[in-house]
């Protein structure tokens, strides 16, 4: 993960393979953590525990990790679920569109939320 927006921001748009937030756009997947929004370089069809290392490192700064799994709801692979559970992270996988909406709502309510969002081709 290299690109970084240093702050918390609502996701204004998603689709076309990326996301819009804080008046900027990013092509590709992102991780939105309390420390900022980062480019998420991973293989969406082969997620590994290492793909969640930043979330695990910041686990004490949020209460819920939303995982936008792409165009449809899917469960993360068993090793990812095991790593998140071992770290004590409560997570909720869902389609990326639902994860964006839920993230924005919880962020607006000042809740301690984080999100790992796989980019999709379509969106809102």
Give tens-digit pLDDT for 87-112. 999 999 999 999 999 999 999 999 99
Distance CA 70, CA 29 (A): 10
Q: Say which residues have a Cβ less than 8 Å from residue 74's Cβ, sequence separation at least 6.
A: 93
Residue matched to tokens 């996301």: 19
Question: Mean pLDDT of all residues in the chain?
Answer: 95
What is the Cα Rg of the chain in Å? 13
Distance CA 107, CA 103 (A): 6
Mean pLDDT, range 72-95, rounded to an integer: 97
Please give the model's pTM, rounded to 2 decimal places. 0.95
Residue 1 pLDDT > 50: no
Architecture of domain 4-117: 3-Layer(aba) Sandwich (3.40)
Distance of CA 100 to the CA centre of its chain: 8
């Amino acid at each position: 993960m290299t690109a970084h927006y240093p702050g918390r921001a609502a996701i204004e748009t998603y689709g076309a393979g990326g996301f819009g937030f804080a008046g900027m756009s990013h092509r590709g997947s992102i991780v939105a953590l309390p420390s900022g929004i980062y480019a998420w370089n991973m293989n969406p069809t082969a997620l590994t525990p290492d793909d969640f290392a930043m979330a695990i490192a910041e686990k004490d700064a949020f209460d819920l990790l939303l995982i936008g799994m792409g165009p449809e709801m899917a469960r993360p692979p068993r090793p990812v679920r095991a790593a998140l559970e071992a770290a004590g992270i409560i997570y909720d996988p869902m389609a990326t569109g639902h994860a964006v909406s839920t993230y924005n709502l919880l962020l607006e309510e000042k809740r301690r939320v984080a999100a790992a969002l796989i980019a999709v081709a379509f969106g809102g």
